[in-house]
Amino acid sequence: MNVKGRSRTAMALVLAVLTVVAAACGGGKSSSPTPQAGTPGAGGTATTAAPKGTVKIGMILAMTGAGSFYGKVMSQGAQLAVDQINAAGGAAGYKLQLVIEDHKSGNADAAVTGARKLISQDHVAAILSSYSAPTLAVQPIAADNSMLVFNGGAVSPALLNKKNLYNTRALGNQLAPQVLTYIFGQATGHKLATIHWNDIAGQSVQQDVKKFWEGKGGQVVDDEPYKSGTTNYSAELARIKAANPDIIGIWSWGTDVGYIVKQARQLGINAKIVGVEWTADDAKIAGADAQGTIVALDTFDPSLSPAAQKFADAYKAKYNEPAEFYAANYYDLVYVVKTLVEQAAKDGKDPTQPASLTGAFPQVKSFPTVYGAELKFQRDGSAVKPSAIYAVQTDGSLKKLTSAGGQ
Amino acid sequence: MDLFWQLTVTGLLTGVVYALLGVSWGLIYGTTRTFHFAHGLAYACAAYAAVAATQHLAGNLVVGIVAGVLGAMVVGLACELLVYAPLRRRATLQLGIFLASLGILIAGQSFLQIGFGPDAQTLKVPSLGIQIWGPVAASRPLLLSSGIAALLVLALALFLQRTRLGREIRATARNYDLAELVGIRSPQVYALTFAIGSAMIGPAAVLFALDNVATPQMGVSAVLYAFIAVFLGGLESLWGAVIGGIALGLIAQWSSLWLPAYWQTTAAFALFFLVLVLRPAGILGRVAR
């Protein structure tokens, strides 16, 4: 083979590798889960009339990266709702379909790329988003396109009062004071050290917490912001240990919480640990070290209503894992979109168009929910959600200590 | 002062592990001039092999570590035999091989994610607990990892100095063509280098997974620390990577004495940058004339 031929071969190989790299990491994970054969809703068995069309719902979730747990349960919850709705004949005769984009656990750039694709190529009618930074990046684009964005995962107070953005998750600045109020009454010492995401979600909670804690007469002795997705907290925790707090507050989400709890105990820190998040992944990571950690969370309780129980049973049957509140939030949000589709159809509008759903939104006063009676949005774009204080048990499960807020 | 000692102990322990990562990566790079980014995949696969072995064979740490060593060795060897060697035979440029290596890492991570799911995996073996000396504490898996790393680096140094195979590796590193002329079978030496270099990181990966969890992405920071350690210390000798690794561990931790802790990566890279500017060949390296 001559030199030219060789370099061409090399070039071809490099191109091949680049293709692999691009396929593996570029553009996010894009998939359109359509009902599979054998799942409820497959094949449109229950439809009586021919479907009028398909209303696509875009989702921008953490499908890969440190928060892939969230992407998994949120998409599962939403898919279950879509399957149920389609099996029952759709929304006003329209089929629903999910189109999922990946924000790689909090990357706003990836979220914007995903949103543009959802809007211009997939022609979705509404977007369900998660994580604060990605949601805040997507909201202006959606608003420009008269499209609604629903968030059932992100917690920053900065998400409030944004055009076309509605949130069904209890926000961090609601949950953190709840858990701190609880621990203030329990703890003998009131020196608080905090560790949190160094982004809009963590910082906004931290600012509110500092005022709140000092207002109660407590003292904040150390504060350690860090980049979300970190796995090694030895330096942050060494500094916290040196500050000798009575309580450590974690204003972080994802697997970070599990790592922090575990590594704090590994450094021999005995302070009480409180937080605003606890997932199955955190339980796995922290193991027995998590015992006694106190967290405030949205409460999804299947015994709240028949609808909740029905959702929990169907979820367990389909995915063989218990439903938790993130899955419930996105299940609810698909039903919110369904209600809007029906309202738009009633108004004689085309519900596959984003503006039709946005136009229908003010007319619907309350939506169905698996969290008790009904879901109502406030003027600022938030929803009142039940929350509670939980203690983490030795096996990583949660034990409810007391109800904290909401209905 | 307590903070200083805690940071120093953590810095030293992690530094010795970085040194091992650096030495193993440096052995491969120094001998074969392959920018082996997929070393990170070997690291992750070691942890996943241990997860699988402890789940299906026996919930025993020794079983996990053996599986990890084998897992890493198989991945390292496969990279060399199936990808790098054929590319080298086709006279692919170093950049091409580097990109291939990056591709292996990313594709391999995706395969791990498909095979084991995106969730973090835990090692099903009894916890080793923590060690406390007065105001200073360290997790026992980290202590063990650090101890094994130190032993492995010493063993490798002896192997390279004292044995025939070790001398063949050094000879091939110095001059591939000349080594072939005197009868050393260089492709075999390359494969051996990949096998040894990869197997070495197995225990560190398994103990990291025991201390934390195994994730598909866990190898990326490991390989980054490895080559920072190598270039910090200098490519000339194994001890360069040892000094580079320990310096990296200590500086990253010590920076938290004065700066917020999230600056430690910045501090580590600032050190790296300074050394590269002031001593382009690394702390121990000599500039070629």
> What are the residue boundaries of the structural domains of chain B, listed by start?
2-278
User: Is there a contact between A238 and B120 if contact means CB atoms under 8 Å apart?
Assistant: no
A118 contacts: CB under 8 Å, gap ≥ 6:
A58, A60, A99, A101, A124, A127
Is the four-CA dihedral B24, B28, B34, B38 of positive or negative sign?
negative
User: Is there a contact between A266 and B106 if contact means CB atoms under 8 Å apart?
Assistant: no
Q: What is the CATH number of domain A172-300+388-405?
A: 3.40.50.2300
Q: How many CB atoms lie within 10 A of CB B274?
A: 11
What are the pLDDT digits (tens) for A327-364? 999 999 999 999 999 999 999 999 999 999 999 999 99
Nearest Cα of chain A lies from the Cα of B138 at a distance, in angstroms, of 6
Rounded CA separation A270/A194 (Å)? 15
Please tell me the predicted confidence (pLDDT) of residue B286.
65
User: Is there a contact between B99 and A24 if contact means CB atoms under 8 Å apart?
Assistant: no
Reduced to 3 states, what is the DSSP secondary structure of residue A107? coil
Whether pLDDT at A48 is above 50:
no
Rounded CA separation B219/A105 (Å)? 18
Nearest Cα of chain B lies from the Cα of A169 at a distance, in angstroms, of 23
A195 beta partners: A224, A250
- The interaxial angle of helices A132-144 and A108-120, nearest 10 deg, is 30
- List per-residue pLDDT tens for chain B, 289 residues long: 788 999 999 999 999 999 999 999 999 998 888 999 999 999 999 999 999 999 888 778 999 999 999 999 999 999 999 999 999 999 888 899 999 999 999 999 999 988 987 777 888 888 788 888 888 888 899 999 999 999 999 999 999 999 999 999 888 888 888 888 888 888 899 999 999 999 999 999 999 998 888 888 889 989 999 988 998 888 778 898 999 999 999 998 999 898 888 888 888 888 888 888 888 888 777 654 4
Give mean pLDDT, residues A367-389.
Answer: 87
Element housing A337 (H / E): helix A325-346
DSSP string over A177-211: HHHHHHHHHH-S--EEEEEEESSHHHHHHHHHHHH
User: Is there a contact between A236 and B106 if contact means CB atoms under 8 Å apart?
Assistant: no
Q: Minimal Cα distance from B101: which residue of A?
A: A17
What DSSP designation does B269 have? H
User: Is there a contact between B256 and A238 if contact means CB atoms under 8 Å apart?
Assistant: yes
A-B CB pairs within 8 A amount to: 129
Helices (H), A53-107: 68-87
Cβ neighbours of A6 in B, within 8 Å: 90-91
**Residue A111 · residue A60 · CB < 8 Å:** yes
**Is B6's Cβ below 8 Å from some Cβ in A?**
yes
Rounded CA separation B72/B201 (Å)? 7
Nearest Cα of chain B lies from the Cα of A361 at a distance, in angstroms, of 36
User: Is there a contact between A69 and B109 if contact means CB atoms under 8 Å apart?
Assistant: no
Q: Minimal Cα distance from A70: which residue of B?
A: B119
Q: Minimal Cα distance from A236: which residue of B?
A: B261
**Residue A256 · residue A197 · CB < 8 Å:** yes
Cβ neighbours of A241 in B, within 8 Å: 2-3, 6
What are the pLDDT digits (tens) for A175-221? 999 999 999 988 788 999 999 999 888 998 999 999 999 999 999 99
Nearest Cα of chain A lies from the Cα of B99 at a distance, in angstroms, of 7
Instruction: List the structure tokens of B74.
Output: 């198989």
Rounded CA separation A51/B147 (Å)? 67
Cβ neighbours of B89 in A, within 8 Å: none
B156 contacts: CB under 8 Å, gap ≥ 6:
B23, B27, B196, B200, B238
Nearest Cα of chain A lies from the Cα of B193 at a distance, in angstroms, of 24
**Is B137's Cβ below 8 Å from some Cβ in A?**
yes
Instruction: List the structure tokens of A201.
Output: 């979600």
Reduced to 3 states, what is the DSSP secondary structure of residue B32? helix
The separation between CA A64 and the C-alpha centre of its own chain, rounded to angstroms, equals 13
Q: Minimal Cα distance from B100: which residue of A?
A: A17
To 5 degrees, how large is the angle CA A111–CA A368–CA A47? 85
CATH classification of B2-278, choosing from 1.10.10, 1.10.3470, 3.30.460, 3.40.50? Answer: 1.10.3470
User: Is there a contact between A14 and B262 if contact means CB atoms under 8 Å apart?
Assistant: no
A380-393 burial, b at 16+ Cβ within 10 Å, e below that, comes to ebbbbbbbbbbbbe
Is the complex ipTM more than 0.85?
no
Nearest to B99 among A17, A225, A234 (CB): A17
To test the contact with chain A by mutation, choose from B1, B3, B104 the residue with the greatest count of A C-beta atoms within 10 A, namely B3
CATH classification of A42-170+303-386, choosing from 3.40.50.2300, 3.40.30.10, 3.30.465.10, 3.40.50.11890? Answer: 3.40.50.2300
Query: In chain A, what are the domain boundaries?
Result: 42-170+303-386, 172-300+388-405
Q: How do beta strands B136-139 and A398-405 pair?
A: unpaired
A374 contacts: CB under 8 Å, gap ≥ 6:
A366, A367, A368
Rounded CA separation A266/A155 (Å)? 29
Please tell me the predicted confidence (pLDDT) of residue B287.
54
What residue type is B231 in one-letter code? F
